[in-house]
Amino acid sequence: MPSLLDSISELSGVGPKREQALNKLGVFTIDDLLTYYPRRYNDLAQKLPSETLDGEKVTFKGLVTSPPVVSRLGFKKTRLNFRLTVSHDTIQISFFNQPWLSKNIVVGEEVAIYGTYNKAHQSLSAIKMMPKNNENELEAIYPSSKEIKAGTIKDLIFQALGKYGDLLTQEIIPSDIRRRYRLMNYHDTVFGMHAPENEFLAGEARRTASFMEFFVFQMRLQVIKQMDRHNQGRSVNFDNQQLKSFIKVLPFELTAAQKKVVNEIVRDMRRPVHMNRLLQGDVGSGKTVVAALAMYAAITAGMQATLMAPTEILAQQHARTIGNYFDPSEVRVEILTGTTKAAARRQILADLAEGDIDILIGTHALIQPDIAFHNLGLAVIDEQHRFGVQQRATLRKVGVNPDILAMTATPIPRTLAITAYGEMDVSIIDQLPAGRKKIKTYWLRHNKIAKAIQFVKEQLASGAQAYVVTPLIEESETLDVQNAQAVYEELSTYFAPKFNVGLLHGRLSNDEKDTVMTAFKANEFQVLVATTVIEVGVDVPNATVMLILDADRFGLSQLHQLRGRVGRGERQAYTFLVSDPKTQYGIDRMEAMVETTDGFVLAQKDLELRGAGDVLGNRQSGVPEFRVGDPIADLAMMNVAQEEAIEIVSQPDWDKSPEMVGLAEMLSETMNRYRNFD
């Protein structure tokens, strides 16, 4: 019995080599192959020469206005020439090595020819004659790889459509939704995507396929959310009095926004359901202390808390900052990272299991099977955009399904949040601590760099410190480091003997990085030349200037993150973007940085400037990639998909309805993964 779950090796022409090549494209089963949709279509439909680009493949329909002439170009090589008048243009048509076609070319008759257009010569290098009446033929073009050509993929898909097409009967989108939004059934969608009869149907098939993709995605999020709610989460019964007294002894007054989110978080923690909350706040908005308060709340409830950071440096910094908030005789804070020595690690694990450690801070090293908490109440993830949905899910396995607080300083435009964080509740800190001065940002071209360096020198003379950031050069870490090294040497000479310069880059070991950062914090040197490893979170309040070299090599979000490293103290801070952008887009970005310090505004701008594809393709955005749909262009559709998904999961036993068999099956893996937490 043929089945959609059959391996693609069941198709004729698929041996081990092709199978491997397809596997690499994520295609394992017939089902995968049939949903391997074309990226676009070559419009075989006729066009006018004036609307055709040079080199474009096109079909011209017109009148034959000169008799066909066959010339020999050599042994067995021929060329068939004639003129075709298309509207007001006369096009020279050449067929190579198909002399027999000449009998079909009759002066005064209409023909349609498909080929590649050469605009300068007004000629068409013909590929084939087209049936005249089939005006809307679309040719599907598939994403391919070095190992397998688009044409081969297409042939296999058409073979599969023939052999397995009748099996496409399992609907995923419930019929009433399909009816309401005039969507196609699954069978017609798949056929319409691969072999559309015309442009309209191609569009409709794509609309349905996009909706289906969004709908399944939103169903997955809603299922996760729903299960969270039903999961016997743990009620973190914190002591409000203790929490209040702790807030009183903080070295600063919380901002109104911080108070609001602390309230939201601890209230959610107290509920007997699982918390899955995102804390969003621009750089410098003070998320760390909020996390510390949430962790303290867990401790007053007799539970433990953990915080996971994406890098060693950040974990170290958090351990210090958070450690400083607490009296060590009351709250024990430990750190566990990849560099923790074996003996120390053993001790930490033992104490953790005994409940002798209250807060464990670390990196990915926290997610290890042998790590067992005594009573974990809260897990915090810092800079969560560095971790995917998968890792977020993995963290839940630490301890017994603890409440989760994820933090991010990467503002996601509101239009994308629904996609990026749909499964989470969101708290936003939309205010910076009082007295924080706006960072002044200047953009200057390379030939003005001396001015900026002079300014840096003046700042140093007044007792401040400075960052000089060197960019990633074409993704090569070696060049990257060499470049940073060169800048470091130049500046060392320039600032000597009064000021010292340090160097930080990705090739240093974690210990070395930490030594450098600690020394910079202690003002042992005044200028830090660094690659983007300082990008997130590292805090040196005395640093007031940042010079970013070749700033146009960075994305807006990244520049914004970098800039957030200064202006963390009382003094006015400055950022200099040194760059000679070569495109309008580069200029626009520099100007956007100068104009605003609001991360949300910049994120939105980035989205507008780069377009959805780039922003979404960027894994750091935390937004999953979609194969068919465009969650920005089709935002309204995404919203509808979400509404429908919410409606469905609100029905008890929705997955038992016969209409939902296909959908439930698609989601079964997610459901099982989350059921295991019960």
Strand duo 403-408 + 276-281: pairing? parallel
Residue 521 beta carbon to ligand ADP: minimum distance, rounded to whole angstroms = 12
Q: Distance of alpha carbon 147 from its chain centroid, rounded?
A: 26
Pick one of ligand ADP, Mg ion, none as the site partner of residue 539 (Cβ within 5 to 8 A by kind): ligand ADP
Q: Are 81 and 92 in contact, with CB atoms under 8 Å apart?
A: yes
Q: Sign of the C-alpha dihedral, residues 615, 618, 624, 628?
A: positive
CB-nearer residue toward ligand ADP: 58 or 293: 293
CB-nearer residue toward Mg ion: 537 or 631: 537
Using CB under 6 A, pick the residue from 80, 177, 262, 289 that binds ligand ADP: 289
Does 283 bind ligand ADP (CB under 6 A)? Our answer is yes
Q: What is the DSSP letter of 7?
A: B
Residue 208 beta carbon to Mg ion: minimum distance, rounded to whole angstroms = 43
Pick one of ligand ADP, Mg ion, none as the site partner of residue 284 (Cβ within 5 to 8 A by kind): ligand ADP
Other C-beta atoms closer than 10 Å to the C-beta of 328 total 9
CB-nearer residue toward Mg ion: 521 or 589: 521
How many H-runs (helices) and E-runs (strands) does the chain carry? Answer: 21, 21
CB-nearer residue toward ligand ADP: 401 or 465: 465
CB-nearer residue toward ligand ADP: 227 or 381: 381
The neighbouring-strand residues paired with 55 are none
Does 258 bind ligand ADP (CB under 6 A)? Our answer is yes
Using CB under 6 A, pick the residue from 287, 364, 505, 565 that binds ligand ADP: 287
Using CB under 6 A, pick the residue from 208, 280, 288, 532 that binds ligand ADP: 288
Largest pairwise CA distance in the chain? 100
Q: For tokens 């897990």, what's the residue? A: 379
CB-nearer residue toward ligand ADP: 340 or 542: 542
Pick one of Mg ion, ligand ADP, none as the site partner of residue 333 (Cβ within 5 to 8 A by kind): none
Tokens representing 445 are 């071209």
Does 539 bind ligand ADP (CB under 6 A)? Our answer is yes
Q: What is the DSSP letter of 623?
A: P
Pick one of ligand ADP, Mg ion, none as the site partner of residue 255 (Cβ within 5 to 8 A by kind): ligand ADP
The helix (run of H) or strand (run of E) holding residue 122 is none
Q: For tokens 């007997």, what's the residue? A: 272
Does 570 bind ligand ADP (CB under 6 A)? Our answer is no
CB-nearer residue toward ligand ADP: 49 or 281: 281
Residue 536 beta carbon to ligand ADP: minimum distance, rounded to whole angstroms = 9
Residues 6+ apart with CB under 8 A from 429: 255, 257, 258, 261, 279, 280, 281, 282, 285, 286, 287, 290
Pick one of Mg ion, ligand ADP, none as the site partner of residue 62 (Cβ within 5 to 8 A by kind): none
The neighbouring-strand residues paired with 64 are 84
CB-nearer residue toward Mg ion: 243 or 292: 292
> Mask: binding to ligand ADP, 409-448, rule CB under 6 A, as x and -?
x-----------------------x---------------
Using CB under 6 A, pick the residue from 96, 100, 252, 494 that binds ligand ADP: 252
Does 285 bind ligand ADP (CB under 6 A)? Our answer is yes
Angle at Cα 171 formed by Cα 169 and Cα 176, nearest 5°?
130
Tokens representing 376 are 């974990």
**How far is Cα 218 from Cα 321, in angstroms, rounded to an integer?**
38
Residue 292 beta carbon to ligand ADP: minimum distance, rounded to whole angstroms = 9
Per CB under 6 A, the segment of 30-38, 359-367, 478-486, 533-541 that binds ligand ADP is: 533-541
| Residue number closest to ligand ADP, CB atom | 286
DSSP SS3 for 666: helix
Per CB under 6 A, the segment of 45-53, 117-125, 278-286, 572-580 that binds ligand ADP is: 278-286
The helix (run of H) or strand (run of E) holding residue 126 is strand 123-130
Pick one of ligand ADP, Mg ion, none as the site partner of residue 433 (Cβ within 5 to 8 A by kind): ligand ADP
**How far is Cα 432 from Cα 252, in angstroms, rounded to an integer?**
13
Per CB under 6 A, the segment of 162-170, 287-295, 297-305, 452-460 that binds ligand ADP is: 287-295
Using CB under 6 A, pick the residue from 286, 411, 413, 502 that binds ligand ADP: 286
The neighbouring-strand residues paired with 444 are 578
Pick one of ligand ADP, Mg ion, none as the site partner of residue 306 (Cβ within 5 to 8 A by kind): none
Does 281 bind ligand ADP (CB under 6 A)? Our answer is yes
Per CB under 5 A, the segment of 123-131, 273-281, 370-378, 535-543 that binds Mg ion is: 535-543
Does 537 bind Mg ion (CB under 5 A)? Our answer is yes
**How far is Cα 637 from Cα 65, in angstroms, rounded to an integer?**
50
**How far is Cα 359 from Cα 307, in angstroms, rounded to an integer?**
8
CB-nearer residue toward Mg ion: 269 or 322: 322
**How far is Cα 86 from Cα 101, in angstroms, rounded to an integer?**
20
Residue 472 beta carbon to Mg ion: minimum distance, rounded to whole angstroms = 22
Pick one of Mg ion, ligand ADP, none as the site partner of residue 531 (Cβ within 5 to 8 A by kind): none
CB-nearer residue toward ligand ADP: 219 or 292: 292
Tokens representing 522 are 């202690």
Residue 364 beta carbon to Mg ion: minimum distance, rounded to whole angstroms = 17
Pick one of Mg ion, ligand ADP, none as the site partner of residue 568 (Cβ within 5 to 8 A by kind): ligand ADP
Q: How far is CA 569 from CA 16, 320, 500, 574, 618, in A?
A: 62, 18, 21, 12, 32
Write 46-53 long-range contacts (CB < 8 A, 24+). Answer: 46/112, 46/135, 48/86, 48/87, 48/89, 49/86, 49/87, 49/89, 49/91, 49/117, 49/119, 49/122, 50/89, 52/117, 52/119, 53/117, 53/119
Per CB under 6 A, the segment of 4-12, 207-215, 279-287, 519-527 that binds ligand ADP is: 279-287
CB-nearer residue toward ligand ADP: 112 or 305: 305
Burial class of 28 by CB neighbour count within 10 A (0 to 12, 13 to 18, 19+): middle
Does 568 bind ligand ADP (CB under 6 A)? Our answer is yes
**How far is Cα 213 from Cα 629, in angstroms, rounded to an integer?**
7
Does 254 bind ligand ADP (CB under 6 A)? Our answer is yes
| Sites of contact with ligand ADP (CB under 6 A) | 252-255, 258, 281, 283-289, 409, 433, 537, 539, 541, 568
The contact set with Mg ion (CB under 5 A) reads 537
